[in-house]
Chain A
């Protein structure tokens, strides 16, 4: 029995590319063997750029996409091969907040109905309206929003509804897929504060997927960095920002502009663009853009090594303190 409430072990998500006859031509390796484990009540930040597979990983962990390989564990129970009907009960405890507040709510339904439907699905017969009103208040929306349509609300308000929807069933884990990326700066802070308050109150674990490093730093306890379907580094927030080890993490952190105009950063500018996930590089997927690439990086995929307590990296530059053991 592990200390982790939600785990994905060696998750692979490959999407077949078919030719016009329907035969498999090649595969997009969106997620290529990622293991992640989250503790109760903590926030695990998952960062990476477009196409790194972080959103796909989030969806796969919730079985919105069936994993090509790997296993998913919740509270010690394996969810991977569960049938749809059995999984339905667990969906109460594993929820998702979506990125785009403009498409994640049904435009033809009023907010109250959208939220009540959630309760209806899981069999609550009476008192739905009261429960919904309570949740609306919890996320900071006034009672009159019960009768509003989504297109009568701003992005920030819609996102609050999305959060309310995720909270209704009292989940223990919420996958937040870029929940504030589409919002204005001043609204972002409101939503982030709300998520933090709720976490404190209800001990919810968050898998916080984002590409904005400053936001991730603010909200996460631990952070994992993804590149082209692989997890390249994982550490506590302070460790990752204080001592980034993987060359990609270093470049990523140096590229983030700061709001202090006096700091003209020493920027590590990566050459070229991200390779296509249809034909990822051999060996270490980052070697084509890595300023420290060695001959071994072209041929051999680096192992996941633990460097010190809680800080792991997949890079040939580092020697392991001890190899990470499989559970």
Chain B
């Protein structure tokens, strides 16, 4: 892991810094704003950005800045959980599929079936089945994202499996689990980590889409999606309802993608 090389990549560093700022602002939300995300002051509703409310207020008079920051907790938190869980489960699926032929057929057909359905639609369908809650959003998004990671893990694992040193481990009497986890997995994890950063970003977007459509995180708990959803009816007069959460989300996703590109370039020995 060549940190110096990473630091040369300006885009990646900027992406990383943006992401860190966003994450920190979410974590330290209570210290950055005195308003609570759920505190309604009806008389102050739909006020434009001012010194008192830097992002303005929403339809119920809640401070938008506070809601965006607390919403970040939910959105980023969902993105993070989805990416970590997907990485672990997807890699497990891919590794075992690459090692055992019979498992390969079974698991890959299931994954292909899932991939055939557009992600957001699939997520909506799952949410409809499971019911709206943050936990279920995470579960749906994990199910939607596993096939990609499984496929990447599987193809890296298949390549690694053909290497002579794996054959050598077998010749030494190593058991399959040892070969899979201690010898194949370290070679598979690089492309997986790269893809995981992208999944983080896309989970944020899909979660926002779900909440926007009303099948994601339920109100009054803020998430970027449902803030945008509230704003869609008042967009002509209260532009701040869309612009600020939108910018915040776009920046976070952009930052994650740039960071992900940087990680990918780091892992790829052929790029200059």
**Does residue B170 face the partner (Cβ distance < 8 Å to A)?**
yes
Looking at the assembled complex, report how far the CB atom of B183 sits from the nearest CB atom of chain A, in whole angstroms. Answer: 6
Given contacts A117-B182, A121-B178, contact A105 B165 (CB under 8 A): yes
Looking at the assembled complex, report how far the CB atom of B223 sits from the nearest CB atom of chain A, in whole angstroms. Answer: 39
Looking at the assembled complex, report how far the CB atom of B163 sits from the nearest CB atom of chain A, in whole angstroms. Answer: 5
Contact A106 B183 (CB under 8 A): yes
CA distance A43 to B74 in the complex (A): 68
CA distance A149 to B147 in the complex (A): 34
CA distance A98 to B171 in the complex (A): 11
For the A-B complex with A103-B165, A108-B187 known, give 19 more contacts whose Cβ atoms are closer than 8 Å.
A64-B167, A64-B170, A87-B173, A91-B172, A95-B171, A98-B164, A98-B167, A99-B164, A103-B164, A105-B168, A106-B183, A108-B186, A109-B186, A117-B174, A117-B182, A121-B173, A121-B178, A122-B173, A165-B172
The digit string for A94-125, where 1 denotes a CB below 8 A from any CB of B, is: 01101110011110110000000110011000
CB neighbours (8 Å) of B164 from chain A are: 98-100, 103-104
CA distance A64 to B187 in the complex (A): 22
Given contacts A88-B173, A103-B163, A121-B174, contact A98 B182 (CB under 8 A): no
CB neighbours (8 Å) of A232 from chain B are: none
**Does residue A298 face the partner (Cβ distance < 8 Å to B)?**
no
Which residue of chain A lies nearest to B187 when distances are taken between CB atoms in the complex?
A108
CA distance A87 to B174 in the complex (A): 11
CB neighbours (8 Å) of A88 from chain B are: 173, 175
**Does residue A47 face the partner (Cβ distance < 8 Å to B)?**
no
Which residue of chain B lies nearest to A104 when distances are taken between CB atoms in the complex?
B164
Which residue of chain A lies nearest to B174 when distances are taken between CB atoms in the complex?
A121
Looking at the assembled complex, report how far the CB atom of A236 sits from the nearest CB atom of chain B, in whole angstroms. Answer: 29
A residues adjacent to B (C-beta < 8 A): 62, 64, 87-89, 91-92, 95-96, 98-100, 103-106, 108-109, 117-118, 121-122, 162, 165, 169
Given contacts A106-B183, A108-B186, A108-B187, contact A118 B165 (CB under 8 A): no
Which residue of chain A lies nearest to B183 when distances are taken between CB atoms in the complex?
A106
CA distance A121 to B170 in the complex (A): 11
Looking at the assembled complex, report how far the CB atom of A102 sits from the nearest CB atom of chain B, in whole angstroms. Answer: 9
Ordered by A's residue number, 11 sampled pairs between the chains whose C-beta atoms are within 8 Å are: A64-B171, A91-B172, A91-B173, A95-B172, A105-B168, A117-B174, A121-B173, A121-B175, A162-B168, A165-B168, A169-B172
CA distance A100 to B170 in the complex (A): 17
Which of B168, B173, B174, B178 is in CB contact (< 8 Å) with A104?
B168
The digit string for B130-164, where 1 denotes a CB below 8 A from any CB of A, is: 00000000000000000000000000000000011
CA distance A108 to B168 in the complex (A): 15
CB neighbours (8 Å) of B168 from chain A are: 96, 98, 104-105, 162, 165
Looking at the assembled complex, report how far the CB atom of A15 sits from the nearest CB atom of chain B, in whole angstroms. Answer: 15
CB neighbours (8 Å) of A64 from chain B are: 167, 170-171
CB neighbours (8 Å) of B183 from chain A are: 106
Given contacts A117-B182, A121-B178, contact A104 B170 (CB under 8 A): no
Q: Which of B166-193 contact A (CB under 8 A)?
A: 167-175, 178, 182-183, 186-187
Which residue of chain B lies nearest to A85 when distances are taken between CB atoms in the complex?
B175
A-B contact count (CB 8 A): 49
Contact B171 A106 (CB under 8 A): no
Most buried by B among A91, A103, A106, A109: A106
Looking at the assembled complex, report how far the CB atom of B181 sits from the nearest CB atom of chain A, in whole angstroms. Answer: 12
CB neighbours (8 Å) of B172 from chain A are: 91, 95, 118, 121, 165, 169
Looking at the assembled complex, report how far the CB atom of B167 sits from the nearest CB atom of chain A, in whole angstroms. Answer: 6
CB neighbours (8 Å) of B178 from chain A are: 121
Looking at the assembled complex, report how far the CB atom of B174 sits from the nearest CB atom of chain A, in whole angstroms. Answer: 5
Looking at the assembled complex, report how far the CB atom of B230 sits from the nearest CB atom of chain A, in whole angstroms. Answer: 50
Which residue of chain A lies nearest to B160 when distances are taken between CB atoms in the complex?
A106
Looking at the assembled complex, report how far the CB atom of B66 sits from the nearest CB atom of chain A, in whole angstroms. Answer: 46
Contact B171 A62 (CB under 8 A): yes
Which residue of chain B lies nearest to A106 when distances are taken between CB atoms in the complex?
B165
Looking at the assembled complex, report how far the CB atom of B169 sits from the nearest CB atom of chain A, in whole angstroms. Answer: 8
Which residue of chain A lies nearest to B166 when distances are taken between CB atoms in the complex?
A106
Given contacts A103-B164, A108-B187, contact A96 B171 (CB under 8 A): yes
Given contacts A117-B182, A121-B178, contact A104 B165 (CB under 8 A): yes
CA distance A62 to B170 in the complex (A): 10
Contact B173 A92 (CB under 8 A): yes
CB neighbours (8 Å) of B187 from chain A are: 108
Which residue of chain B lies nearest to A92 when distances are taken between CB atoms in the complex?
B173
CA distance A91 to B168 in the complex (A): 11
Which residue of chain A lies nearest to B178 when distances are taken between CB atoms in the complex?
A121
CB neighbours (8 Å) of B165 from chain A are: 103-106
Looking at the assembled complex, report how far the CB atom of B35 sits from the nearest CB atom of chain A, in whole angstroms. Answer: 50
